[in-house]
Chains A and B, each alone.
Chain A
Amino acid sequence: MGIHLARAFVEAARTGDRTDVERLIEAVWPDAYRLAYAVLGDQHAAEDAAQEACLVIYRTIPSLRAPSAFAVWFYRIVVRVATASKRDRARVELCDADMQARDADTASAIDIWRALERLSPKLRTVVVLRYFEQLSSREIASILRIPDGTVRFRLMTAKQRLRPLLDDPSQPLSANHEVHPHAI
């Protein structure tokens, strides 16, 4: 994965010139885009968010004190930019006459993207980091700056919410599968 290969470039990018930074950006771009896409579920929004995150990395890589912390730092930036983008989009959608309400009640096939839409941003983010990015709960806790136990609880909650959909795609979620918002 690019993010791990990129560690070789990190030291050079921190202390080197623009070429080194751009080599690092090229190396991490696919991971940035995939992570942003998994969080946002939209191609254009993901491209914008990944671009924004890479810009932050481009500008601030010299201030990264420990090259070994690059991966956590990278994930944190992408997740932060992507979730902010998601929040902003939700705010503007209310004013956009073109927006169509999305039919999220039933799914006609096993579609992981439709399933992820059922999750709140917090649950979706931990699922993406755990199952798309293959990170441990401890790593996710470090990225999101939340306790390890909270990460594991959110993963469990997310799987509980997704189970009925993945077992039977035509079945809408019932109230029994709703999770109390204060518990998350």
Chain B
Amino acid sequence: MQYDFALLCLDARARIDVPAVPLTAIRSAAMISTPPKAGWLTTLLAGTAIVALAAGAGVLGTRVIFDRAGRVELVLNSPKLTFKNPTPADVQAAVTRAHFPVTLPAGLPSGSRLQSVWSTDDAIMLLYSFPGAWRASHHVAWIVLANPQALMSSPDADMNMRVRFASSERPIHWRAGGEEVIIAMHNAMTPAELARMKQAMLTASAAK
């Protein structure tokens, strides 16, 4: 080789700027008791509470319900569920099925991983896992992309499959174009990460 590869590598290594050790974050994360590694179903159930699964008439459409406390519930009619490690084709199938213009999540923290996709004609629920030791037990968030026409203030008596988010926090939501974006369990993300994601999605939506 024309250049000494070993020296090049050593030089590159020496030039890496090392940030301060985040000892407080590591200590805090280490202090939290570590249960056995959760499987995909445990992770999923930690995020949601399925309060009713009934054989509905099949005519009820998807409903996204904000209750008086500001919490969100979803009624899903014949959802397609991809529980574990969805592929881009699964996501694309959900987008194709949707009856509203879908802008997929953008500007997510680097290293975010899509764990699950639930979709109906009027809503797509995406479960993301976020990286970083500091997040400890709060490392997943549901991002719901919904047809604004499916939004309701109270549930119908009949239902097919109803999903309530276990987190007590109010979801963050905004509307962009013909899509309502709802972030449930958003304490997995920092305010800066949420702001970056919202900005990226608004930009992507406006560009469509």
Contact = CB atoms under 8 A, between A and B. Distances in A.
Interface of A: 18, 22, 25-26, 29-30, 33-34, 37-38, 42, 44-45, 47-49, 51-52, 54-55, 58-59, 85, 88-89, 91-92, 94-98, 110, 112-113, 127-128, 131-132, 134, 159, 162-163, 166-167
A29 B16 CA distance: 13
Contacts of B103: 97
A29 B91 contact: no
Top 5 nearest A-B pairs (CB, nearest first) are A131-B9, A29-B21, A55-B133, A94-B88, A97-B106
A54 B200 contact: no
Interface string B71-111: 00000000000000100100100000000000111111111
Nearest to B22: A51
B134 to A, nearest CB: 7
A85 B23 contact: no
A128 B10 CA distance: 10
B131 interface: yes
Interface string B134-178: 100000000000000000000000000000000000000000000
Interface of B: 1-3, 5-6, 8-10, 12-13, 16, 18-19, 21-23, 25-27, 29-30, 34, 85, 88, 91, 103-114, 128, 131-134, 200, 204
Contacts of A33: 16, 18-19
B113 to A, nearest CB: 4
A51 B105 contact: no
27 contacts: A25-B26, A29-B18, A33-B16, A33-B19, A37-B16, A38-B13, A45-B131, A48-B111, A48-B132, A51-B26, A55-B29, A85-B131, A89-B111, A91-B114, A92-B108, A95-B105, A95-B114, A96-B105, A96-B108, A97-B103, A97-B104, A97-B200, A98-B107, A110-B3, A131-B5, A132-B13, A166-B8
Contacts of B27: 18, 22, 58
